[in-house]
Amino acid sequence: MDINDIITQINNIKKGMAALEKELEEITVEGSDSNGFITSIANGKGVILDYRFNPGQISSIKKDNLIQAVVEATNNALKKARELEGSKKKEIIGEVNIPDIPGLF
């Protein structure tokens, strides 16, 4: 592999990563607490967009449990967003045979 091949691969990856950033803003993931009180909706970049509350259960939940449910649902949504971003980046990079250069991607 010569330097021109490496440069071409790097440029293709950079274009793919730029497109991915826009795509991640549009994709949504959801995370819920273990009791199903709350669902947190985040985009693929890890920005919380909304919460949905289970109306049948939310009125009976205690304040401390509500806070814990919000935290758990949020953390689950953010975890899914990170996993999604990682898998999408892996798809773009694929089996590229480029030397490991810190800070390249």
CATH level 3 topology of 3-92: Ybab; Chain: A; (3.30.1310)
Q: In this predicted model, what pLDDT tens digit does every residue of 31-44 receive, in sequence order?
A: 999 999 999 999 99
Write down the domain spans for the chain. Answer: 3-92
29 φ, ψ (degrees, to nearest 5)? -130, 160
- What pTM was computed for the model? 0.79
**CB 30, CB 41: distance < 8 Å:** yes
Q: What is the three-state SS of 26-63? A: HCEEEEECCCCCEEEEEECCCCEEEEEECHHHHCCCCH
Mean pLDDT of the chain: 88
Q: Is 69 exposed, middle or buried (0-12, 13-18, 19+ CB in 10 A)?
A: buried
pLDDT tens, N- to C-terminus, the chain (105 residues): 678 887 888 888 889 899 999 999 999 999 999 999 999 999 999 999 999 999 888 788 898 999 999 999 999 999 999 999 999 988 888 766 655 556 665
Task: Indicate the residue type of 93.
Answer: I
Bridge-based pairing of strands 38-43 and 48-53 is antiparallel
Q: Tokens 């999604």, residue?
A: 84
